[in-house]
Each structure stands twice: as structure tokens, then as C-alpha cells.
């Protein structure tokens, strides 16, 4: 490698670093209005997601309560059927 090639390589590296620094600086200096808008949008998203989570939690509670009620009724029905099936055949009570 010649001295010129070495100098061009160093210059290219320095330019890359300079471009990266300028890009970071520009991003850091974004106007406060843009940041406020972005924060407001994030707050709206958070509120919307919180409301959706609350609704889903309420619906889950309803489904669980319904499942518990159905399970209790099913247990009673199973007990009734087992009672009929295990009743002795000489029982004077009429079959249901």
C-alpha cells in the first residue's frame, strides 16, 4: 500500500465517523415539538392498550364465572345420573 492509499483509507474512516456524529447530533437536536407529539402519541397508545386490557380482563372474568357455573351444573347432572344408575333394581321408587 502506498502512502496515498493509506491516507485515503484514514480519510474515508474519518469521514464515516464524521457522518455518524452528525447524524447522531441531528437526531438529538430534533425539535421539542416532534418529541412532544411522539410522547402524546405514545400516551394515547398506552391509554388505548390499557382500556383494551381492562375489557379483555373483564371478559375473561365473565367467561371464568360462566365456566364455573357450567361445571357445577355438570357435576350435579353427573351425580344424578350416577345415582339413578347405582340404584338397586328392587327399589320400589319408580324410575325417572
* Residue 82 maps to a domain: yes
Distance CA 57, CA 63 (A): 10
Q: Is the pLDDT of residue 96 over 60?
A: no
Closest CA to 94 of 84, 82, 86: 84
For the residues 62-86, what does the mean pLDDT come to? 95
Cell of 33: 415539538
pLDDT at position 3, please?
A: 86
Count of domains for the chain? 1
* Residue 46 maps to a domain: yes
pLDDT at position 43, please?
A: 95
Q: 24-52 pLDDT, tens per residue? A: 888 877 766 777 888 899 999 999 999 99
Residue 54 domain boundaries: 9-86
Q: How long, in residues, is the chain? A: 96
Mean pLDDT of the chain: 88
Q: How confident is the model at residue 91 (pLDDT cuts 50, 70, 90)?
A: low
**pTM of the entire predicted model:** 0.48
* Residue 3 maps to a domain: no
pLDDT at position 94, please?
A: 62
Distance CA 84, CA 95 (A): 8
pLDDT at position 24, please?
A: 86
* Residue 34 maps to a domain: yes
* Residue 15 maps to a domain: yes
* Residue 25 maps to a domain: yes
Amino acid at each position: 500500500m502506498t502512502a496515498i492509499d493509506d491516507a485515503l483509507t484514514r480519510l474515508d474512516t474519518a469521514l464515516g465517523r464524521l457522518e455518524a456524529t452528525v447524524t447522531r447530533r441531528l437526531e438529538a437536536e430534533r425539535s421539542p415539538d416532534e418529541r412532544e407529539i411522539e410522547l402524546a402519541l405514545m400516551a394515547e397508545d398506552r391509554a388505548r392498550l390499557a382500556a383494551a386490557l381492562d375489557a379483555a380482563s373483564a371478559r375473561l372474568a365473565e367467561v371464568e364465572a360462566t365456566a364455573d357455573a357450567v361445571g357445577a351444573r355438570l357435576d350435579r347432572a353427573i351425580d344424578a345420573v350416577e345415582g339413578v344408575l347405582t340404584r338397586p333394581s328392587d327399589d320400589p321408587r319408580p324410575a325417572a
